[in-house]
Amino acid sequence: MKFSTKAEYGLRAMVNLASCFPELKNIKSISQEEKISAKYLERLIGELRERKIVKSLKGKNGGYVLARKPEQITAGEIIEIMDGSMVPKCYGNQCTHMKTCASSFVWIKLGEQIRKTLYGIKLGDLIK
């Protein structure tokens, strides 16, 4: 399975915010620390804000902060927001050949394990 740069950068930005939680942090600081384009980062954090994972405060001292504690946000949530579902194409009702596909068991188990692993990793685990 291959994850996009969007997922990688989104996760890095969220770990960065988790490391200073509950304090605010601006895009410029995160961009410099993570070496991610500020313009691109603004788009990514905008998606996370829309999905209520991040809150924003405007103004001179504004910035971004996690909407929940780092222990309540999983890597799986972030990756699925950035990349969409982690379910392999040959999975459950999405597979048109499910009843005749001998390898479907492998893809179903793989999808379950990927989700279990990523949803088991909390941002709080990544900042210790």
Q: Where are the domains of the chain?
A: 5-126
Q: Give the separation between CA 8 and CA 40, rounded to whole angstroms.
A: 12
The first and second tokens of residue 108, run together, are 């179903």
Can you give the pTM of this predicted structure? 0.84
- In contact, 22 and 64? CB cutoff 8 Å: no
3-state secondary structure of 51: coil
* Ordered per-residue pLDDT tens for the chain, 128 residues: 678 899 999 999 999 999 999 999 999 999 999 999 999 999 999 999 999 999 999 888 889 999 999 999 999 999 999 988 776 655 555 555 555 677 777 877 888 898 999 999 999 999 97
Confidence at residue 32, expressed as pLDDT on a 0 to 100 scale? 96
Residue 55: beta bridge partners? 65
Confidence at residue 104, expressed as pLDDT on a 0 to 100 scale? 75
Confidence at residue 100, expressed as pLDDT on a 0 to 100 scale? 64
CATH architecture of structural domain 5-126 = Orthogonal Bundle (1.10)
DSSP 55: E
Burial pattern 74-83, b for ≥16 Cβ within 10 A else e, equals bbbbbbbbbb
Residue type, 122: K
Confidence at residue 109, expressed as pLDDT on a 0 to 100 scale? 83
Q: Give the separation between CA 95 and CA 22, rounded to whole angstroms.
A: 43
